[in-house]
A and B are shown apart, each in its own frame.
Chain A
Amino acid sequence: MSQPRNQMMNYIREEIMPHRFCPGCGCGTVLNVFTNAIDNLKLDPVKMVCVSGIGCSAWIPSPYFKSDTLHTTHGRPIAFATGVKVMRPDLKVVVIAGDGDVSGIGGNHLIHAARRNIDLSVFMVNNMIYGMTGGQVAPTTPTGVKTSTTPHLNIEPPFQVAELVAAAGASYVARWTTYHVFRLIKAMEEAITKQGFSFIEIVSQCPDNYGRRIGLRTGVEFLKMFKKQAIPIDKARELPEEKLEGRIIVGKLRDRERPEYTSELHRVTKEQVDKIKAEQEKIS
């Protein structure tokens, strides 16, 4: 029987669908939302390169999104993307990767790319766990959670990655959840359009390897929790820190203009080229 086709499939390597994500996984929603953002922007995927690392969320663009894709080593997608972007500033370079990838093993690349303010869009899918490897503690796992490598409960506080990236110098930073699909599409459009380093932390669900450890067995239960815990950043700013315990601060954390790395690099390079040109014209 012929099946209905969502037109977002135009942006997907359709021949390999359905994807491999577990039922109710947030990665699928991020893929869905991402294709909608690209569609709204009327971006030609030929003018895009999607870069990812290792982990479930790395699979969102690689292989599912139909553009040039670079599926790299664990934690390094932003560093690989830097090489692509400086050489081809005309291409939109998007990194989609997980919290373990980008804020754990690849944390150094993340903060330095934000500091340089290179024109990359980094969408970090934060499921608060190492899902693909079987539910080990991540730098984003809340304190007190039992994971397969913190059987006596996690004693570490989690990273607030969006705040970290904002402090490091990114032009655009936002945080949304996989429940806030309309806002997330809008944020992705803004991030991709923004000149400079743009970062969206997407709080997402892993019903299998995280959910079963915290008593949330389905995507539905996670989304209900996100809906309940989300607090807009404007409201959050008015509350004392202790009232924000267990809340997910959502919204736009930063949107500012700063010199962008790729254009600055090409500017200084062109200056040197022009200098040689002028010198040679003087001689001849």
Chain B
Amino acid sequence: MAKTEPSPKAILDLDRMVHEPARLAILTVLASAEEVAFLFLQRVTGLSKGNLSSHTQKLEGAGYLETVKVFQGRIPATSFRITEDGRAALRAYHQQLRGLLPKEGKP
């Protein structure tokens, strides 16, 4: 039996909350550690402060990450954690994307 090609609908089914490059980078970083400081996240993703804040707010709204506010001495510091939903969404996105990519050897 011939293998079925992914339908165009599968492309449209991609989770757009994860698909956006900056948010994908943020979720990838958060999935690699338990808790990540704002400053490190900003440096590693190369995003500006405003951009990072905007994307993390969207991800938090979607329930994919949670913000942790702590005080280091008197200085307030912000960290982020990926939620179980966020981890599942990232995993699902990877699987979907792998299914959409052409098999090796094909253009």
Task: Tell whether A pairs with B.
Answer: no
